[in-house]
Amino acid sequence: MSRVLAAVAWPYANGPRHIGHVSGFGVPSDVFSRYMRMAGHDVLMVSGTDEHGTPIQVQADAEGVTPRELVDRYNRVIVEDLHGLGLSYDLFTRTTTGNHYQVVQELFQGLHDNGYIIAKTTLGAISPSTGRTLPDRYIEGTCPICGYDSARGDQCDNCGNQLDPDQLINPRSKINGETPEFVETEHFFLDLPAFADQLSAWLDTRDGWRPNVLKFSRNLIDDLQPRAITRDLEWGVPIPLDGWRDRDDKRIYVWFDAVIGYLSASIEWARRSGDPDAWRKWWQDPEAQGYYFMGKDNIVFHSVIWPSILLGYSSPKAGSLGALNLPTEVVSSEYLTMEGRKFSSSRRVVIYVRDFLERYDADALRYFIAVAGPESNDTDFTWAEFRRRNNDELVAGWGNLVNRSISMAAKNFGEIPAVGELTAEDERLLAAVRAGFDSVGQLLGKHRQKAAITEAMRIVGEVNKYFSDQAPWKLKEDKARMGTVLYVALQAVRDCNTLLTPFLPHSAQKIHELLGGTGVHAPMPEIVEVEDLDNGRTYPVLKGDYTVGAKWEHVAIELGTPLAAPTPVFRKLDESIVEEELARLQS
Ligand SMILES: [Zn+2]
């Protein structure tokens, strides 16, 4: 048994999340956490909504609401969507809690005390009307190199050159069209080059990472620059230094505060558990493991910036929380596209999680993401392929096996039938299914979920073949042999259901009950309204009791357990859904 931290990327609270987002971090982290818990590990799975930064401020201004009103709205939407997918967070919280502010300020202070935060005066773009930092990508102008008139402040999309915003000819704000002012402004920088050697040595010890993630991370270390970690903005965590603490025009930059959320959410979870130090077992025990789940655009934050923060806080003199563990592995996925195009809310190339779950079952999406998601390559979601996978594999493969074995046993015996002498084929099938606990489990432990579910479905295919070969419906004259075949099939279904539980928890619970099981097989998260531990505001969190439920092991079915005629667990999708969904995309 080991302690396993599942640190899941923080969705940004400026709108509802689409299925591309949850395929990169949400579902894979849940499959992993569910498997590790079933295999006996002590898992802490944490995340929350990322709620600060200029994009939130800009969108709130555009809607005429405060940033807090905006993030309150989308925090709730995102909590409900992740709940609908059955993602088993021990705590899904948010970055606007009093606890998060304290932890962020503590880490900032610790890094500052150790000399890793340096003040610098730079030339920054400011919106003259608001006094706020205008980030590079919010500035547009004519490219000084190729003359393209919509170059961004960070790069020109026409000629591809990297730019600085003050190089643009006729720069203007993309928010309101005004001309930015370039003024001297004092900011704090994280001294990333100071960590280059330690980061490099750490990466050298990392076995088993996805090769593209490791390669990308190494390249980042070759070219480290100090990075600004404060902004001219009023929406964010205040800077905890004398002379800065009470200023309302300077805040800690959102990416610095958001990565600290993994730690602050663990601390919040511990404070809510009644043992405020419980988080230390996942962050300070050298044996504890930490896995970080995200899409590839966030690798830099997890393999460079977050480890630098952890190193700089922990030495030479550890801050008051004590020295903190580095990640065991950065588990990054690639991108999901939609019908060959990039997801885009503005161009309506999108399906939001909520809309998806209104029309389809959560497990149908979870299945698609596991078997065809962007685990180590960019992959494309198409409605035709979604329907095909659902109908041919989930319904015709797994669902049909469950349905025909249980319904035949229910009709002919009304219970799990007695077993006679087992033939060589019976024994061979039962052994093949039981071998799945090793083969599927090993793949899941190595984040090879696509191979793991493919292996589980291969075993389902073997059981289907056994069922067809033995043809119990032809054994009406030999009830004893019919009972034995159905017993073997039901035992195989029972074990296959366990193998599929991390991927398909909702249907696994139903199948458990169809087999006469009672109680919780696959525990589910719940939404709980809680009071902020420090400031009395209330907000919804996701949490759950995941100590209950199935273990990753063979369990013998019990003879004589009453069986009723089953209702179908999976829904077949009509051909018309493909056209309907494509029409929605283009409307
Ligand atoms: Zn250009």
In whole angstroms, how far apart are CA 302 and each of 10, 115, 290, 308, 550?
A: 12, 22, 11, 9, 32
Spacing, Cα 158 to ligand 1 middle (Å): 5
Q: Are strands 538-543 and 526-531 parallel, antiparallel or unpaired?
A: antiparallel
Mean pLDDT of 402-429: 98
Q: What is the pLDDT of residue 437?
A: 98
Query: Could you say which DSSP state residue 356 is in?
Result: H
Spacing, Cα 162 to ligand 1 middle (Å): 9
Q: With contact defined as beta carbons under 8 Å apart, do 111 and 309 qualify?
A: yes
Spacing, Cα 141 to ligand 1 middle (Å): 10
Nearest C-alpha neighbor of 151 from the set 161, 141, 160: 141
Those residues whose beta carbon sits under 5 angstroms from the ion ligand 1 are: 143, 145-146, 148, 156, 158-159
Three-state SS letters, 264-326: HHHHHHHHHHCCCCCCHHHHCCCCCEEEEEEEHHHHHHHHHHHHHHHHHHHCCCCCCCCCCCC
Mean pLDDT of 265-276: 98
State the chain's mean pLDDT as an integer. Answer: 95
Q: What is the pLDDT of residue 166?
A: 86
In whole angstroms, how far apart are CA 291 and each of 35, 36, 140, 329, 446?
A: 14, 12, 38, 5, 11
Is residue 130 very low, low, confident or very high in pLDDT (cuts 50, 70, 90)? confident
- Report the SS3 class of residue 169: strand
Spacing, Cα 148 to ligand 1 middle (Å): 5
Spacing, Cα 179 to ligand 1 middle (Å): 20
Spacing, Cα 184 to ligand 1 middle (Å): 26
Spacing, Cα 160 to ligand 1 middle (Å): 6
Q: What is the pLDDT of residue 207?
A: 87
Spacing, Cα 181 to ligand 1 middle (Å): 22
Mean pLDDT of 418-443: 98
pLDDT, one tens digit per residue, over 53-69 is 988 998 998 899 999 99
Amino acid at 271: R
Spacing, Cα 159 to ligand 1 middle (Å): 4
pLDDT, one tens digit per residue, over 78-118 is 999 999 999 999 999 999 999 999 999 999 999 999 999 99
Spacing, Cα 180 to ligand 1 middle (Å): 20
Spacing, Cα 55 to ligand 1 middle (Å): 25
Spacing, Cα 157 to ligand 1 middle (Å): 7
Spacing, Cα 453 to ligand 1 middle (Å): 46
Q: What is the pLDDT of residue 526?
A: 98
pLDDT, one tens digit per residue, over 242-264 is 999 999 889 999 999 999 999 99
Three-state SS letters, 108-158: HHHHHHCCCEEEEEEEEEECCCCCCECCHHHEEEECCCCCCCCEECCECCC
Spacing, Cα 168 to ligand 1 middle (Å): 10
Spacing, Cα 310 to ligand 1 middle (Å): 38
**Residue 586 pLDDT exceeds 80:** no
In whole angstroms, how far apart are CA 339 and each of 187, 232, 349, 383, 490?
A: 43, 40, 8, 8, 39
Mean pLDDT of 415-442: 98
**Residue 39 pLDDT exceeds 70:** yes
**Residue 457 pLDDT exceeds 80:** yes
Q: Which residues fall in the annotated binding site for ATP?
A: 345
Q: Which residues fall in the annotated binding site for Zn(2+)?
A: 143, 146, 156, 159
Q: Which residues fall in the annotated binding site?
A: 143, 146, 156, 159, 345
- The residue with greater pLDDT, 485 or 345, is 485
Spacing, Cα 149 to ligand 1 middle (Å): 8
Spacing, Cα 378 to ligand 1 middle (Å): 28
In angstroms, the CA 109 to CA 290 distance is 24
In angstroms, the CA 468 to CA 466 distance is 6
Q: What is the pLDDT of residue 522?
A: 98
Q: Among the residues of 380-518, which ranges form H helices? A: 383-388, 400-412, 424-445, 449-470, 479-500, 505-514
Spacing, Cα 334 to ligand 1 middle (Å): 28
Neighbours of 222 (CB within 10 A): 8
Is residue 131 very low, low, confident or very high in pLDDT (cuts 50, 70, 90)? confident
In angstroms, the CA 88 to CA 30 distance is 6
Nearest C-alpha neighbor of 81 from the set 30, 15, 33, 17: 17
Is residue 587 very low, low, confident or very high in pLDDT (cuts 50, 70, 90)? low
Spacing, Cα 178 to ligand 1 middle (Å): 21
In angstroms, the CA 375 to CA 402 distance is 28
Burial (Cβ within 10 Å: 0-12, 13-18, ≥19) of residue 216? middle
**Residue 122 pLDDT exceeds 90:** no
Residues contacting 207, CB < 8 A, separation 6+:
none
pLDDT, one tens digit per residue, over 161-208 is 878 888 899 999 988 899 999 999 899 999 999 999 999 999 999 988
In whole angstroms, how far apart are CA 309 and each of 35, 79, 218, 314, 318?
A: 30, 28, 17, 8, 12
Q: What is the pLDDT of residue 249?
A: 86
Q: With contact defined as beta carbons under 8 Å apart, do 444 and 502 qualify?
A: yes
Nearest C-alpha neighbor of 48 from the set 253, 250, 257: 257
Nearest C-alpha neighbor of 203 from the set 228, 225, 222, 176: 222
In angstroms, the CA 349 to CA 369 distance is 18
pLDDT, one tens digit per residue, over 539-577 is 999 999 999 999 999 999 999 999 999 999 999 999 999
Spacing, Cα 533 to ligand 1 middle (Å): 50
Spacing, Cα 146 to ligand 1 middle (Å): 4
In angstroms, the CA 191 to CA 387 distance is 50
Q: Among the residues of 501-575, which ranges form H helices? A: 505-514
Q: What is the pLDDT of residue 359?
A: 97
Q: What is the pLDDT of residue 165?
A: 86
List residues bridging with 181 in a β-sheet: 126
Mean pLDDT of 383-410: 98
How distant is the alpha carbon of residue 253 from its chain centre?
23
